[in-house]
Every structure is written in C-alpha cells, then in structure tokens.
Structure 1
Amino acid sequence: MSSPDIFYWSSSSRNTERFVEKICANGMMGVRIGPSSRSQIIARPFVLITPTYGDHDGVGAVPKPVVRFLNDPQNRAHLVGVIGGGNRNFGAMFGFGAKVIAQKCEVPVLHRFELAGTPEDVDIVQNGLARFAPLQAPAPSEMALAV
C-alpha cells in the first residue's frame, strides 16, 4: 500500500505550499495545481490540499484554480479526500473551502490546518496518509484524520 499523491493549490502567501513541503519531506509526492489547471488530468487516487478564500459568508471559499481542476470529471473521480488550510481568525469559515469540496465531491475532509501548519498537523497528515489505501478507499470514518 502506498500513499495517494497530493495535489495542492497555494496562493502567493505560500502557506499551503510550505505545509505540503513539510508533509512531503518523507518522500510523498506533492504537485502544485497550476493557474490553468484544465490541462492537469489525474489518473490515480489523490488527496487535495487547498486554502480557503472568500468572505465571512463563505462566498468564493474554493480558489478558482481548484474549481477549474475539479471541473474535470476524471480529476473528481480520483479525489479521495481533501485537507483544508485557513486562518482560525475567520471562525466558522476556518477551512470552509475543504468542507465545500468534500460536500460537492462526496469525499471526507481529512484534516484542517492553520496557516502553514504545526508540527502536530504534519504528523497527523503524514501518519494518516501512510495508512491510506488508495486502491480501495475505506469508509469515511476510517479515513478521518482530524478536523
């Protein structure tokens, strides 16, 4: 069993990118979603890591490049879970983009982290993904890392 690949979007703050670099330090593969992500077609199980954008009502919570990436049916079909970044200052909207994606794509939110994540966040995600069976997705309760 190997871990699923990681695809991520990171803004100019690079918080999500720094988090992915930390969790991929043990050999996992992280691939950045490009601004014109329609050309990225994924043919294997993957976990998506995305920050949350938008206002206090959650409008625009999912970054546009992520929306374009997930608009491809093949990419959606291979998505097995989502991890959301954000800022706890936004209260109920913390990690809201991951919740939106999880609901629309019918996958679990595996974890949420603040800014570039803590060492504990990195451990939780690394350990959770190492247990992940990408070819036979377990029930969402078995996949949940921490929310």
Structure 2
Amino acid sequence: MVHLYYDSKTGNVQRFINKVIQITGWEAHKIEDGLTVEDAGHLITFTTKMGCVPDKTQQFMDAYASKINSVTSSGNRNWGKNFGLAANKISEGYDIPLAMKFELSGTMEDINQFIDIIKHQYNDSKRGSKKLDIA
C-alpha cells in the first residue's frame, strides 16, 4: 500500500490528493497535530511566502524525514523561480528525491504523471532513485 502524507492550506493539495486516492485507492494522511507515521510514504506539500516550506511541513520533516521517499509540491507559476520551491528545499535539505511540482490543484495530466512516478520509480522500494525528475 502506498502512503501519502500531505499538508494543505488553501485546499489545492487536498483536491490533488482526493483525485489521486480516488484513482489509486492509496492511503492519504493529513499532516496535523497527533499524526504518527509508521509506514514509509511520499510527501505532498505546498509552497508559501514566495518560496518557503510551510511550518507544519517543516516540523513533520524534522520528525519523520527518514520515512519519506519523495517530495512533491504545489505552487503558483506566477511566483516565477519560486514556483514549488518548497519541494526543492525539502529535497536538498533532507536528501530526498523531488518527484514533481504541479500548479495549484494540478491537472489530470499532473495527477496521472504523479501516479506514474510513484508506481514506477519506487514500486514500494526505499527512497527510490535520485533521478526522479520531472520538476
């Protein structure tokens, strides 16, 4: 079973996650106080303040980075070079592969691409390849 850990502020990541789990049946866990992570999985978050990692996501990573196999972030292309920058910062800071970035709540193409990456780059292995790509 694939586990997805996510943080959503405006609902964009929540909508993305809802579509992914509807298609795949994977388990999604919202990052909130009291969440305990036992199973390895993939992080999906958002970028805030023109390129920053959300505080709740940062605290989650400080506690559970060893359980995270990849990072994906939503963002807004209006932010230019700061688009989805939270994913880059998490990837570099915790040595975790960056799976992809998507705008706002993602398109169906983004959702299918994400599913494909998780299924074929990882196949339930640990941390997968550093060459995930697509971002």
TM-score higher than 0.5: yes
Aligned-pair distance for 1:43?
Answer: 2.1
Q: Which one-letter code corresponds to 2:127 in the other structure?
A: A
Please state whether the residue corresponding to 2:96 is helix, strand or coil: coil
Is it true that 1:88 corresponds to 2:77 in the alignment? yes
Per the normalisation by structure 1, the TM-score is 0.84
Is it true that 1:98 corresponds to 2:93 in the alignment? no
Q: Which one-letter code corresponds to 1:62 in the other structure?
A: V
Aligned-pair distance for 1:139?
Answer: 2.4
Instruction: Please say if residues 110 and 145 of structure 1, whose CA atoms lie closer than 8 Å, have aligned partners that are also in contact.
Output: yes
| Separation of aligned partners in 2, 1:136 and 1:40 | 21
Instruction: Please say if residues 72 and 99 of structure 2, whose CA atoms lie closer than 8 Å, have aligned partners that are also in contact.
Output: yes
Name the structure 1 match of 2:20.
23
Instruction: Please say if residues 80 and 137 of structure 1, whose CA atoms lie closer than 8 Å, have aligned partners that are also in contact.
Output: yes
| Separation of aligned partners in 1, 2:128 and 2:68 | 13
Instruction: Work out the percentage of aligned pairs sharing the same amino acid.
Output: 26
In the alignment, structure 1 segments of 5+ residues that lack a partner are none
| Separation of aligned partners in 2, 1:66 and 1:10 | 9
- Aligned CA distance change for structure 1 residues 129 and 139 (closer, same or farther; 3 Å): closer
Aligned-pair distance for 1:41?
Answer: 2.7
In the alignment, structure 2 segments of 5+ residues that lack a partner are none
| Separation of aligned partners in 1, 2:127 and 2:46 | 24
Name the structure 2 match of 1:5.
3
Is it true that 1:45 corresponds to 2:40 in the alignment? yes
Instruction: Please say if residues 100 and 133 of structure 2, whose CA atoms lie closer than 8 Å, have aligned partners that are also in contact.
Output: yes
Bigger radius of gyration: 1
Per the normalisation by structure 2, the TM-score is 0.91
Q: Which one-letter code corresponds to 1:101 in the other structure?
A: I
Instruction: Please say if residues 51 and 63 of structure 1, whose CA atoms lie closer than 8 Å, have aligned partners that are also in contact.
Output: yes
Equivalent pairs counted in the alignment come to 133
| Separation of aligned partners in 1, 2:41 and 2:78 | 29
Name the structure 1 match of 2:134.
146
Q: Which one-letter code corresponds to 1:120 in the other structure?
A: E
| Separation of aligned partners in 2, 1:136 and 1:15 | 28
Instruction: Please say if residues 50 and 85 of structure 1, whose CA atoms lie closer than 8 Å, have aligned partners that are also in contact.
Output: yes
